């Protein structure tokens, strides 16, 4: 039996959750909806986050094994569905890593007000590929080192959020809100499809609290620590998203909001108007750190899924190998870094209709591919709660299931201004290829198992 080193305590689990779940890029993305973003955030919190938090806490308390959601679904629905769940949990991160690192690249460029650098495709490629392999390397060494990047990454949450909220309040008090807020304006209106289409990203912004369960055997007293970590980090996450989106809209007119660098732009704009220089650069630098830390957290967590699948002989045995010195799944970490690099380059360079895919379009494709594939295991997760914990709140589980299904459907709505054909083909083909590859692998391994004496 594999023995892991228990090194993560409550503080580490809370900070891991905050870094892995709180994506400040979702604040700017949600703000694209304007004042209705506040309403949509609260709807996502009620319909998705609350059921998710209750479900993960309940299952983690009873089944704290390494592998988390994969283990729970396998128990509840059998090995085939367990594999589908585990495969999707792993594969979605291959799209997530480059998308969060694109956000980091944009804010690094905004930090120095280097517009030409931020618009360069080759700069984005270099930044993302370097980030993918750096985070893979640091996690091969192990969580004893990797957790310090994750913990430091929380500075890239709290300080930018504090600056953003402070600048938003200052802009509201000194200049008035750049975006009018009234009870009527907070109700979605106008092009409802574009507005509601952002809701899937808002639900996704609350996802990820199961990351602690992926490394359950590396947490001290996981039965108590994981639920407590979810509760504490969940409160902080909700406040950050709702107040943060409102602050962006207080500071920046909706018409000039840039999604990838919107937070840095908001701080820079307000700070410049009151004579404070350097705050925008500080915010950009910290958001870059946060992007790297978030990628590192999920690099660590997601690699444990193919490791668990390898232990179960569902994936090749090489995935179950641990580094002889660092006791980490180094094969899984290396393979996922290579696959993520290939997917990023495909999303950026694959184009139809004779027009090159822009950085923003590649970002939208990667984000929605992440949501689409990541939410398939969440459908299983809520079913697992119903089957494994009969005394739980089934109404909450089915509410979460419904919100997840709606979010999946909304990913097929192309973002405003995108090349519709390129977007839809990228989304459908890449999702089909990754799911098909998983199905083919499972069938191959099943046949191998069947012919063994």
Least confident of 358-362, 366-370, 386-390: 358-362
How much is the average pLDDT of 134-153? 76
Higher pLDDT: 404 or 310? It is: 404
How much is the average pLDDT of 67-90? 85
Q: Inter-axis angle of helices 155-174 and 279-311, to 10 degrees?
A: 140
Higher pLDDT: 448 or 397? It is: 397
- CB-facing half-sphere around the CA of 224: CA atoms within 13 A: 5
What pLDDT is stored for residue 267 in this prediction? 85
Is residue 388 within 8 A of residue 76, CB to CB? The reply is yes
DSSP 382-421: HHHHHHH-TTS-HHHHHHHHHHHHHHHHHTTSPPTTS-HH
Alpha carbon distance 32, 231 (integer Å): 28
Helix (H), strand (E) at residue 66: none
> What residues does 8 pair with on adjacent strands?
219
User: What is the band of 1 on the pLDDT scale with cuts at 50, 70, 90?
Assistant: very low
What pLDDT is stored for residue 381 in this prediction? 93
pLDDT tens figures, 376-430: 999 999 999 999 987 767 888 999 999 999 999 999 988 877 788 888 888 999 8
- CB-facing half-sphere around the CA of 244: CA atoms within 13 A: 28
**What percent of the chain shows pLDDT beyond 90?**
19
How much is the average pLDDT of 311-326? 80
What pLDDT is stored for residue 221 in this prediction? 78
Residue 150 has pLDDT above 80, yes or no: no
For residue 170, the SS3 value is helix
What pLDDT is stored for residue 407 in this prediction? 93
pTM above 0.85, yes or no: no
């Amino acid at each position: 039996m594999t023995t892991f080193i228990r090194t993560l305590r409550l503080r580490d689990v809370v900070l891991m959750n905050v870094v892995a779940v709180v994506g400040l890029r979702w604040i700017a993305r949600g703000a694209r909806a304007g004042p209705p973003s506040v309403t949509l955030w609260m709807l996502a919190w009620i319909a998705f986050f609350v059921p998710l938090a209750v479900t993960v806490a309940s299952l983690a308390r009873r089944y704290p094994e390494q592998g988390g959601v994969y283990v729970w679904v396998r128990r509840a629905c059998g090995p085939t569905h367990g594999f589908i769940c585990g495969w999707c949990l792993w594969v979605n991160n291959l799209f997530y890593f480059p998308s969060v690192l694109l956000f980091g690249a944009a804010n690094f460029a905004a930090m120095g007000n280097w517009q030409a650098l931020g618009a360069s495709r080759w700069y984005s490629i270099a930044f993302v590929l370097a980030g993918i392999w750096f985070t893979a390397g640091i996690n091969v060494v192990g969580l004893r080192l990797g957790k310090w990047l994750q913990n430091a990454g929380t500075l890239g949450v709290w300080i930018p959020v504090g600056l953003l909220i402070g600048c938003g309040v200052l802009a509201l008090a000194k200049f008035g809100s750049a975006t009018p807020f009234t009870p009527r304006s907070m109700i979605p209106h106008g092009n409802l499809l574009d507005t509601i289409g952002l809701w899937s990203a808002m639900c996704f912004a609350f996802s990820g609290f199961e990351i602690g369960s992926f490394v359950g055997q590396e947490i001290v007293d996981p039965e108590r620590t994981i639920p407590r970590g979810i509760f504490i980090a969940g409160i902080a996450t909700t406040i950050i998203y709702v107040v943060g989106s409102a602050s962006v809209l207080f500071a920046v007119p909706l018409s000039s909001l840039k999604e990838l660098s919107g937070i840095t732009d908001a701080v820079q704009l307000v700070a410049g108007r009151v004579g404070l220089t350097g705050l925008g650069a500080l915010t950009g630098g910290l958001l870059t750190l946060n992007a790297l830390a978030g990628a590192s957290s999920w690099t660590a967590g997601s690699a444990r899924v193919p490791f668990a699948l390898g232990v179960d002989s569902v994936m090749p045995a090489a995935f179950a190998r641990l580094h002889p010195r660092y006791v980490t799944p180094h094969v899984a970490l290396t393979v996922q870094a290579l696959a993520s690099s290939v997917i990023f380059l495909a999303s950026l360079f694959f184009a139809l209709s004779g027009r090159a895919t822009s950085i923003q379009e590649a970002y939208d494709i990667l984000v929605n591919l992440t949501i689409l594939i990541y939410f398939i295991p969440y459908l299983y997760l809520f079913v697992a709660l119903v089957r494994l914990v009969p005394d739980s709140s089934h109404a909450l589980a089915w509410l979460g299931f419904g919100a997840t299904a709606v979010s999946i459907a909304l990913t097929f709505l192309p973002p405003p201004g995108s090349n519709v054909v390129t977007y839809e083909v990228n989304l459908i083909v890449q999702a089909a290829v990754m799911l098909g590859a998983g199905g083919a692998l499972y069938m191959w391994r099943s046949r191998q198992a069947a012919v063994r004496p």
